Structure 1
Amino acid sequence: MKTLLNVIWLVLAGVWLALGYLLAAVLLAITIIGLPFAKQSLKLARYALWPFGRALVQSPTRHETLSVIGNVLWFVLAGWWLALGHIVTGVALCLTIIGIPLGIADFKMAGAALVPFGRTIVPARELNAGMVAADSTIAFPD
């Protein structure tokens, strides 16, 4: 089921959202200071291409202060317009019955687009097996 959802997602929204993340990565990588943000944008681009069967969880090695500073800068530089892209595609997907689960997933990803630092992407089966802490997760079904 997750493969079918991922294929439909890829065609309807994933490619466009991933291109937005890639554009953000290129723009952020132009300066040396923006390289950590570009790296995060590339991670989210991969996640936007194939989200079902993976989860976004709190990173076990996160540094709270650095995450907050990174998230504030990310929000100003790229997060708000990437989240806006998720909201627009989510609304468009919800216009059809088949697209409603994809639209809901898109709305969940909008939150990840706003504040991605301090989070990591793991396979959902690791989350289900208890290998990863489940607090503050954005999971998509297997």
Structure 2
Amino acid sequence: MNLIGNIIWLIFGGLAIFMEYLVSGFAMCCTIVGIPWGIQCFKLAFLALFPFGKKIRVTEGNPGCLSTLLNIIWFFIGGLWIALTHLGFGLLLAITIIGLPFAKQHFKLMGLSLTPFGREVYE
């Protein structure tokens, strides 16, 4: 099921989302200051490429106050808008029964896009 879901996701928008996150990550990494946020964009990009079968968890141990500060900056710079976009697509896909698995993936991406620092993606 994960393979079929990932293939359908890739065809119907997953590749576009991946490319947007990838371009954003490269643009942020062009400056030294933006490298931490660029790395988080790459994390979002690879989750957006194949989201089925992947889960998100808080990193083990205490992430510390630096990740909290970076999450606050991320939230106000662009995280809120990214999360609202995933929320909109998720609600739009949740209208139909066929779109429910894809809506669930958008909600998963929304959660990660709000606070990406201190979280990791695993299988």
Q: Quick check: 1:71 aligned with 2:71?
A: yes
Which shifted more, 29-38 or 93-102? 93-102
Is the 1:24–1:78 Cα contact (8 Å) retained in structure 2?
no
Q: In the superposition, relative to structure 1, how do residues 121 and 25 fare at CA in structure 2: closer, same or farther (>3 Å)?
A: same
The whole-number CA distance in structure 1 between the counterparts of 2:109 and 2:62 is: 20
CA RMSD of aligned residues (A): 1.7
TM-score for the superposition, normalised by structure 1: 0.77
Q: In the superposition, relative to structure 1, how do residues 62 and 27 fare at CA in structure 2: closer, same or farther (>3 Å)?
A: farther
Residue in structure 1 matched with residue 88 of structure 2 by the alignment:
88
The whole-number CA distance in structure 2 between the counterparts of 1:53 and 1:92 is: 22
Q: In the superposition, relative to structure 1, how do residues 110 and 116 fare at CA in structure 2: closer, same or farther (>3 Å)?
A: same
The whole-number CA distance in structure 1 between the counterparts of 2:65 and 2:91 is: 34
| 3-state SS of 2:89 partner | helix
Matched residue count: 123
TM-score for the superposition, normalised by structure 2: 0.88
If each structure's helix is expressed as a fraction of its own residues, which one has the higher value?
A: 2
TM superposition outliers: structure 1 runs of 4+ over 6 Å: none
Could you list the per-position Cα deviations for residues 50-84 of structure 1 after superposition, in whole angstroms to 9, with x for gaps in the alignment?
01111111112552201101111111222122212
Is the 2:83–2:111 Cα contact (8 Å) retained in structure 1?
yes
Is the 2:44–2:109 Cα contact (8 Å) retained in structure 1?
no
The whole-number CA distance in structure 2 between the counterparts of 1:81 and 1:19 is: 17
Q: Unaligned regions of 5+ residues in structure 2, if any?
A: none
Q: Unaligned regions of 5+ residues in structure 1, if any?
A: 124-142
Residue in structure 1 matched with residue 111 of structure 2 by the alignment:
111
| 3-state SS of 1:98 partner | coil
Residue in structure 2 matched with residue 102 of structure 1 by the alignment:
102
Could you list the per-position Cα deviations for residues 87-120 of structure 1 after superposition, in whole angstroms to 9, with x for gaps in the alignment?
2322332243211121122122211101010011
Q: Among all aligned residue pairs of Structure 1 and Structure 2, give the percentage whose two residues are the same amino acid.
A: 37
